[in-house]
Amino acid sequence: MKTIRLTAAQALVRYLANQQGEQGERFLAGCWAIFGHGNVAGLGEALQAAGDDFPTWRGHNEQSMAHAAIAFAKASRRRRAMAVTTSIGPGATNMVTAAALAHVNRLPVLFLPGDVFANRAPDPVLQQIEDFADGTVSANDCFRPVSRYFDRITRPEQLLAALPRAMATLTDPAACGPVTLALCQDVQAEAFDWPESFFAPKAWRARRPRPDPAELAAAAEAVRSARAPLIIAGGGVLYSGACDALRDFAETHQVPVAETQAGKSSLPWDHPLNLGAIGVTGSSAANAVAERADLVIGVGTRFQDFTTGSWALFKNPDRRILALNIQPFDSAKHNALPLVCDARAGLEELSAALGPHKAAAPDPALKAGWLAAVEAATAAPQGNALPTDAQVIGAVQRSVDEDAIVVCAAGGLPGELHKLWKASRPLGYHVEYGYSCMGYEIAGGLGVKMALPEREVVVMVGDGSYMMMNSELATSVMLGQKIIVVVLDNRGFACINRLQIGTGGESFNNLLDTARHEVPSQIDFAAHAAAMGAISEKVDSIAELEAAMGRARAAERSCVIVIDTDPMPSTEAGGHWWDVAVPEVSPREQVRKAREDYERQRRSQRPAD
């Protein structure tokens, strides 16, 4: 057996550089890195030597560069991913939030945090967390509950087993999620005689498991016997590349489709059978059909509470759930009829089993009525009043072409976008709403642009999320990865302020002007963005916003457009109740009334049958 002597870090980088995707491309596009004493001498040396064979990008914040990596994987339909490395201590724990985001959204990312010394000679090393009762614990144990696979590398040769396991997890459609390999800093620099065969190029192909015949037969019978079926398209449709299969199934069997946040753009917005968004932030058309549906066919969805209206949306007493999902955990939720398989394969085989069967066509007036409501909500305002989020969305939509990708994550914008954005192409809607992580937006936009450089990327972000994490705007300029950022300044956390008031509370600690302060907040977002190298401007109207969008599209580097918006309105059309617990006892009459409404709504919940 031929061997080659390398450090553990050198071996890790060489191995990762030789792992390929289905088309022969490098599966891991490269590594985001912020170096410190826990990774600079070991992994840093190995990454520098690799050069363009395994590129390294420098971020400004550990969490946000991990967000960029995760967005890259999402925009790549999980067919490619990125690695992220930090030192030990705060650099590592800064990534835990990003790991949770990837875990919730079932997205691949490889975390490579530095760790303590395996030999324990200098204990406690700088930034080391010490557990008084367990000498094996380090800060990186925080990654355990938010990793699909976790390993601490205390000997170089452990990589011979750990790296293939890591790759298997990253590329498995059912087990996909974050992988953490905590790298003891002394071990990174230790040498070992590695088998040369370990570094041979290897292609990883995403499995497409076919449905079990008995489950398929039961699913087909359920569809045949349903009088009012509804498909809910989740992110699994996009990750599987099943958009054409979904369209063919819907058209062949005349079954209407609604979309989750992750599944939006599975069908073009103007397809007659696409009723739009589902659930709490859903369209009136989709939710009306969902209320009457006797068979809800989930395709690649986790059935999150925003999708199901906290399980109060589906009101038909005879309703059943058919869960087509590659992950058995999701397929078994809420006493569903399971169909465990790849989304594309499952839709194709279920369609074949149904033959010419057609369901009753949905009432076209439902969709027409909803699109009229969308036009009204997104039209330019009359007069000089501050615009709503919906009106800004309309202006941005009118300013871009059908290939554009909108990116968002948290606050009121995801709900408005889910309802109102018209996605014409797959992946044209990129909203992280599994973890709904404030601060994902700008870093996510960078990752999307790196994955799909030929498409225009527009990030829509509120002032609250912008303030929470904006530093990768500078990285987008530095890397020449142009994005357009539209900052909607409503002076605070307006979405949660509306929820606070809606549950009977008084506006408190959410809007800047009513929060405790000595000096009123006056943040110049355009000047701040310009200081990071972006082209920036503030506009005062929807007409000015549309003109600025034209200038931004023509520019060669990242642009930021700031507009003041009204913090109070949201689109009244569509939507559904969401379970947010209201206090049973309160001196406020508004809270007591909200509690009465809450108890009434809860009676509609049907978590399982």
Contacts of 480 (CB under 8 A, 6+ apart): 557
What mean pLDDT do residues 507-534 have?
A: 93
Tokens at residue 113, please? Answer: 């945090």
Tokens at residue 415, please? Answer: 């709900």
Query: Strand locations in 137-190, DSSP E?
Result: 149-153, 178-184
Question: Which of 206, 192, 266 shows the shortest CA–CA distance to 5?
Answer: 192
How much is the pLDDT for 514?
A: 87
Whether residue 583 is preceded by a cis peptide bond, meaning omega within 30 degrees of 0, is no
Q: Is 355 left (phi over 0), alpha (psi -120 to 50) or beta?
A: left
Q: What would the pLDDT profile of 398-456 be if each residue is shown by its tens digit?
A: 999 999 999 999 999 999 999 999 999 999 999 999 999 999 999 999 999 999 999 99
Q: Which residues are paired to 535 by β-bridges?
A: 559
Tokens at residue 408, please? Answer: 């968002």
How much is the pLDDT for 288?
A: 98
Dist CA 378 CA 223 (whole Å):
37
What mean pLDDT do residues 97-121 have?
A: 97
Pairing of strands 535-539, 559-564: parallel
607 band by pLDDT with thresholds 50, 70 and 90: confident
Sign of the Cα pseudo-torsion (243, 249, 254, 255, in order): negative
- The conformation of residue 512, written as its DSSP 8-state character, comes to T
Dist CA 284 CA 415 (whole Å):
14
Contacts of 397 (CB under 8 A, 6+ apart): 378, 420, 421, 422
DSSP string, 181-198: EEEEHHHHT-EEEEEGGG
Tokens at residue 390, please? Answer: 């919906």
What are the two backbone dihedrals, phi and then psi, of residue 276, each rounded to the nearest 5 degrees? 95, -160
How much is the pLDDT for 385?
A: 85
Dist CA 259 CA 310 (whole Å):
16
For residue 248, the tally of other CB atoms under 10 A from its CB is 14
Q: Which residues are paired to 561 by β-bridges?
A: 486, 537
Q: What would the pLDDT profile of 68-90 be if each residue is shown by its tens digit?
A: 999 999 999 999 999 999 999 99
Dist CA 491 CA 521 (whole Å):
8
- Mean pLDDT, all residues of the chain: 96
For residue 23, the tally of other CB atoms under 10 A from its CB is 8
What are the two backbone dihedrals, phi and then psi, of residue 425, each rounded to the nearest 5 degrees? -125, 150
608 band by pLDDT with thresholds 50, 70 and 90: confident
Structural domains of the chain, with CATH? 3-203 (3.40.50.970), 213-366 (3.40.50.1220), 379-564 (3.40.50.970)
Query: Residue 560 pLDDT more than 90?
Result: yes
Cα angle: 151, vertex 153, 156; to 5 degrees: 140
Tokens at residue 238, please? Answer: 């996009």
DSSP-based three-state secondary structure for 110: strand
Dist CA 172 CA 545 (whole Å):
43
Tally of residues, the chain: 609
Q: What would the pLDDT profile of 347-394 be if each residue is shown by its tens digit?
A: 999 999 999 999 999 999 999 999 999 999 999 988 778 999 999 999
Q: What percent of the chain has pLDDT over 90?
A: 96
pTM for this entry: 0.97
Q: What would the pLDDT profile of 231-251 be if each residue is shown by its tens digit?
A: 999 999 999 999 999 999 999
Dist CA 243 CA 402 (whole Å):
17
- The conformation of residue 26, written as its DSSP 8-state character, comes to B
State the first-to-last Cα distance of the chain, in angstroms, to the nearest integer. Answer: 59
What mean pLDDT do residues 20-44 have?
A: 96
Cα angle: 608, vertex 267, 485; to 5 degrees: 100
Query: Residue 596 pLDDT more than 80?
Result: yes
Query: Residue 1 pLDDT more than 90?
Result: no
CB 95 within 8 A of CB 86: yes
How much is the pLDDT for 382?
A: 82
CA 43: distance to chain centroid?
A: 29
What mean pLDDT do residues 171-193 have?
A: 98
